[in-house]
Copies of this chain bind each other. A is one copy, B any other.
Amino acid sequence: MTPETVMITDVGPRDGLQNQPKILTLEQRLALVQAIADAGVPQIEVGSFVSPKAVPAMAGTDQVFASLEKAQFATPTIALIPNMKGYELARAAGAKTVTMVLYASDGMAQKNASMTMAQADEITLEILRLAKQDGIEVIATIAVAFACPFDGPTAASTVEKGVARFMKAGADQVVLADTIGAADPQQVRALTATLVEQHGAGRLGCHFHDTRAMGLANVYAAVESGIRRFDSSIAGLGGCPFAPGASGNVATDDIAMMLQQMGFATGIDLNKLMQASDLAQALTGTAPGGRSKPWLQGYLTKQAS
């Protein structure tokens, strides 16, 4: 029996690196991307085209793309873009897939992008039309899809409407992001079940943070609903360096371990993933490493001996 595949996208080189204090060099960023690819992660968000003033860690993402192209890098890559200018920069840099952030609350849209939800929607729809002509794939990521730090719990109906709009508009993927790590598995199960019923699971994905330790529980809940696409971050890179112990994205280390144990194919070599995780920890000094990493390293060492 062929195992079912789950598609993991490592967002560490973007979501992770921009949410920790150390600014990596181009060479360091490329080494991290390469290590993640070497581990077999099938898709990597390698950077964003945002204002280098606002996000210094992401300055030079065009050079990341140029270097990867020069090296004939084979793993599909993604660039995050905040707006039309970002889209143009990404296209110029040769990006084949872009992630555009939408908002499920006006509070977050204002705070993060000085727009309303509706304005962010409009810009993304415009980018989508352009991208279709340009042959570029678009991932529409809905931020604060479960709760917003400014507006409180997110109504499921708000997310349902957003997903329906971008599915209809032809987004290649629509991703529900639990931006502040506030979702619980019951909420995830309910919302994803509804969405899978409405649209099928093919183009739906989830992006969880482990802030409240429910990251893997939420992944499992989404898997139960049929979701087969997840974002995660190597070594749990990200989070807020100013809140001790607070954690960021679900670690690729943990999600790959759990999904493989559950019998899914991820394409990931756990031994090489540990090397990428070690590198992420060494380069940043703050990445916590997957929560299962102490166990996983011991297990892999024992397997090898």
Partner of A262 from B181, B185, B261, B262 at Cβ < 8 Å: B185
Interface members, chain A 258-272 (any B CB < 8 Å): 258, 261-263
Q: Which of A11-19, A98-106, A216-224 contacts B (4 or more CB under 8 A)?
A: A216-224
Complex Cα–Cα for A213 and B189 (A): 20
> With an 8 A cutoff between CB atoms, is A114 at the interface?
no
Contact across chains for B263 and A213 when beta carbons are under 8 A apart: no
Contact across chains for A184 and B217 when beta carbons are under 8 A apart: no
> With an 8 A cutoff between CB atoms, is A214 at the interface?
yes
Q: Which of A21-29, A41-49, A286-294 contacts B (4 or more CB under 8 A)?
A: A286-294
Contact across chains for A292 and B213 when beta carbons are under 8 A apart: yes
Shortest Cβ gap from A161 to chain B (Å): 25
Q: Which residues of B contact A258 (CB under 8 A)?
A: 184-185, 212-214, 217
A188-216 vs B, Cβ < 8 Å mask (1 yes, 0 no): 01000000000000000000001111101
Shortest Cβ gap from A256 to chain B (Å): 12
Shortest Cβ gap from A230 to chain B (Å): 13
Chain A residues within 8 Å of chain B by Cβ, number: 36
Q: Are A290 and B213 CB-contacts (below 8 A) given A262-B184, A262-B186, A298-B243?
A: yes
Q: Which residues of B contact A210 (CB under 8 A)?
A: 291
> With an 8 A cutoff between CB atoms, is A245 at the interface?
yes
> With an 8 A cutoff between CB atoms, is A257 at the interface?
yes
Complex Cα–Cα for A219 and B216 (A): 11
Q: Which residues of B contact A261 (CB under 8 A)?
A: 184, 212
Complex Cα–Cα for A298 and B185 (A): 21
Partner of A220 from B220, B263, B291, B293 at Cβ < 8 Å: B220
Partner of A214 from B189, B211, B216, B247 at Cβ < 8 Å: B216
Q: Which residues of B contact A244 (CB under 8 A)?
A: 294
> With an 8 A cutoff between CB atoms, is A246 at the interface?
yes
New contact pairs (15) apart from A213-B216, A220-B220, CB-CB < 8 Å: A181-B295, A184-B262, A185-B217, A210-B291, A212-B257, A214-B258, A216-B216, A216-B217, A217-B219, A217-B258, A243-B298, A244-B294, A245-B293, A245-B294, A246-B295
Interface residues, chain A, with chain B CB atoms under 8 Å away:
181, 184-187, 189, 210-214, 216-217, 219-221, 224, 243-247, 254, 257-258, 261-263, 290-296, 298
Instruction: Please provide the 10 A-B residue pairs with the shortest distance between their CB atoms, ordered closest to farther.
Output: A245-B294, A213-B291, A213-B292, A217-B217, A185-B220, A216-B217, A186-B262, A217-B220, A212-B292, A184-B261
